[in-house]
Amino acid sequence: MAKFDKIAVLAKIGQTGMVPVFYHKDAETAKKVVKACYDGGVRAFEFTNRGDFAHEVFAEVVKFAAKECPELAMGVGSVVDPATAALYIQLGACFIVGPLFNPEVSKICNRRLVAYTPGCGSVSEIGAAQETGCDLCKVFPGDVLGPNLVKGLMAPMPWSKLMVTGGVSPDEENLKSWIKAGVYCVGMGSKLFPKDVIAAENWQAITDKCAEALGYIAKARA
Binding site for ligand ELE (CB under 6 A): 21, 48, 77-78, 97-99, 165-168, 187-191
Q: Minimal distance in Å, beta carbon 59 to ligand ELE?
A: 19
Nearer to ligand ELE, 147 or 187 (CB): 187
Q: At what angle do helices 147-154 and 172-181 cross, to 10 degrees?
A: 20
Nearer to ligand ELE, 133 or 167 (CB): 167
Q: Minimal distance in Å, beta carbon 180 to ligand ELE?
A: 19
State the DSSP H helix or E strand holding residue 98, giving kind and residue range, or none if neither: none
Q: Minimal distance in Å, beta carbon 101 to ligand ELE?
A: 12
Q: Name residue 126's amino acid.
A: I
Q: Minimal distance in Å, beta carbon 191 to ligand ELE?
A: 6
Nearer to ligand ELE, 67 or 194 (CB): 194
Q: Minimal distance in Å, beta carbon 122 to ligand ELE?
A: 17
Give residue number: closest CB to ligand ELE.
189
Q: How far apart are CA 56 and CA 109, in angstroms?
A: 20
The answer to whether the beta carbons of residues 147 and 180 sit under 8 Å apart is yes
Q: DSSP 3-state assignment of 115? A: strand
Nearer to ligand ELE, 40 or 187 (CB): 187
Q: Minimal distance in Å, beta carbon 98 to ligand ELE?
A: 5
Q: Strands, E, within the chain: which ranges? A: 18-22, 44-48, 73-77, 95-97, 115-117, 119-120, 136-139, 161-165, 185-188
- Give backbone dihedrals phi and psi of 206, rounded to 5 degrees, phi first: -70, -45
Nearer to ligand ELE, 193 or 203 (CB): 193
Nearer to ligand ELE, 53 or 68 (CB): 53
- Mind giving me the DSSP string for 147-193? HHHHHHHHTT-TT-EEEEESS--SSHHHHHHHHHHT-SEEEE-TTTS
